[in-house]
């Protein structure tokens, strides 16, 4: 199997790109799957290894490209509308409120991300253990179920306010723990605030753009400083391309799905996924 100088086979780059793209915008935790999938694949082929947080963060840029492309018109409207509102001192503008909410919601994960950076990136970090991933998946699945049950499902993204951004942003910060899911925690927080399912997902996607961009760019800078040559760069590019395509399809599907269906299928998946990981880890089948 062709392998990169960073120990990442090209086939694994394709698989990880698919996993990243399919799970980044579904409330099931991309970081957990990027941690667990290589572990499971390692059973079939010893050349498969955990690519680490840095590689995972970089291929998240594929998801960023997808969400920027999908919501390009929305982002353009928010930007131009906010500038016009500031010029006219219209501080009640919908676009300005949405922009402010995104900015406020990005602060918690940036602050905690910087404080916990060394801990999160350590190969032996307890936060990357399979038991933590499984437990977080189960906990957030139950929390999503609770939100689904008590949510009013009435609020639209046009009604978003600064406090909504802060609360959903605090939920996003929870995703620093693998298994919590950035889209899952933000979707859950938005549902608790009374948003409609598809509107909650839309706000979750928009709010996640700054955090994912910053994370990916920081790790890309770190990796290039330490050298990316030959198939290392090839693996990275392959992962990015696959992640971009699959991410775009996942966004489209998620918004369509939540427009008519509940999040119950994701709750069930999270519970099964979490319990399976804990059981496999306890039995010693995966490490």
Token pair, residue 27, equals 């409330």
Residue 1: pLDDT band (50, 70, 90) is very low
Look at residue 9 and give its three-state secondary structure.
strand
Please give the full DSSP string across 66-108, using - where no structure is assigned.
Answer: HHHHHTHHHHHHHHHHHHHHHHTT-TT-HHHHHHHHHHHHHHH
Can you give the pLDDT at residue 202?
95
Contact 185, 172 (CB under 8 A): yes
Q: Provide CB contacts within 8 A for 237, sequence distance 6+.
A: none
**Phi-psi region for residue 7, left (φ > 0), alpha (ψ -120 to 50) or beta?**
left
Supply the pTM of this predicted model.
Answer: 0.87
Can you give the pLDDT at residue 54?
63
Q: What percentage of the chain has pLDDT greater than the value 70? A: 86
Angstrom distance (rounded) from CA 57 to CA 42: 21
Angstrom distance (rounded) from CA 51 to CA 41: 12
Quick: pLDDT tens for 61-91.
888 899 999 999 999 999 999 999 999 999 8
110-143 b/e (C-beta count within 10 Å ≥ 16 → b): eebbeeeeeebeeeeeebbbbebbbbbbbbbbeb
Which residues, in sequence order, are bridge partners of residue 3? 9
Contact 259, 197 (CB under 8 A): yes
Which residues, in sequence order, are bridge partners of residue 9? 3
Low-confidence winner among 57-61, 112-116, 174-178, 218-222 (lowest mean pLDDT) = 218-222
Quick: pLDDT tens for 224-259.
665 555 446 777 888 889 999 999 999 999 999 999
Give the Cβ contact number of residue 194 at 10 Å. Answer: 16
Per-residue three-class SS string for 132-193: HHHHHHHHHHHHHHHHHHHCCCCECHHHCCHHHHHHHHHHHHHHHCCCCCHHHHHHHHHHHC
Look at residue 227 and give its three-state secondary structure.
coil
Give backbone dihedrals phi and psi of 9, rounded to 5 degrees, phi first.
Answer: -60, 150
Which residues, in sequence order, are bridge partners of residue 195? 155
Nearest Cα neighbor of 266 from 169, 137, 152, 100 is 137
């Amino acid at each position: 199997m062709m392998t990169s100088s960073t120990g990442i086979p090209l086939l694994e780059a394709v698989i990880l790109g698919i996993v990243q793209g399919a799970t980044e915008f579904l409330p099931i935790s991309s970081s957990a799957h990027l941690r667990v999938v290589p572990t499971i694949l390692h059973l079939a082929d010893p050349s498969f290894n955990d690519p680490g947080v840095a590689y995972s963060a970089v291929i998240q840029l594929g998801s960023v490209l997808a969400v920027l492309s999908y919501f390009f018109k929305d982002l353009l409207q928010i930007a131009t509308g906010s500038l016009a509102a500031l010029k006219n001192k219209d501080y009640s503008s919908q676009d300005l409120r949405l922009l402010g909410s995104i900015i406020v919601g990005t602060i918690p994960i940036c602050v905690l991300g910087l404080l916990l950076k060394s801990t999160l990136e350590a190969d032996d970090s307890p936060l990357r253990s399979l038991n933590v991933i499984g437990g977080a998946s189960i906990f957030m699945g139950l929390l999503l179920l609770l939100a689904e049950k008590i949510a009013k499902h009435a609020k639209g993204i046009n009604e978003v306010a600064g406090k909504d951004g802060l609360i959903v942003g605090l939920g996003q910060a929870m995703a620093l723990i693998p298994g919590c899911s950035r889209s899952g925690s933000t979707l859950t927080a938005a549902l608790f605030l009374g948003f409609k399912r598809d509107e909650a997902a839309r706000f979750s996607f928009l709010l996640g753009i700054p955090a994912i961009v910053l994370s990916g760019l920081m790790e890309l800078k770190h990796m290039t400083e330490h050298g990316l040559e030959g198939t290392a760069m090839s693996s990275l590019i392959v992962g990015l391309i696959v992640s971009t395509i699959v991410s775009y399809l996942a966004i489209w599907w998620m918004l369509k799905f939540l427009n008519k269906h509940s999040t119950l299928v994701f709750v069930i998946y999270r519970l099964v996924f979490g319990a399976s990981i804990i059981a496999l880890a306890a039995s010693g089948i995966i490490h």
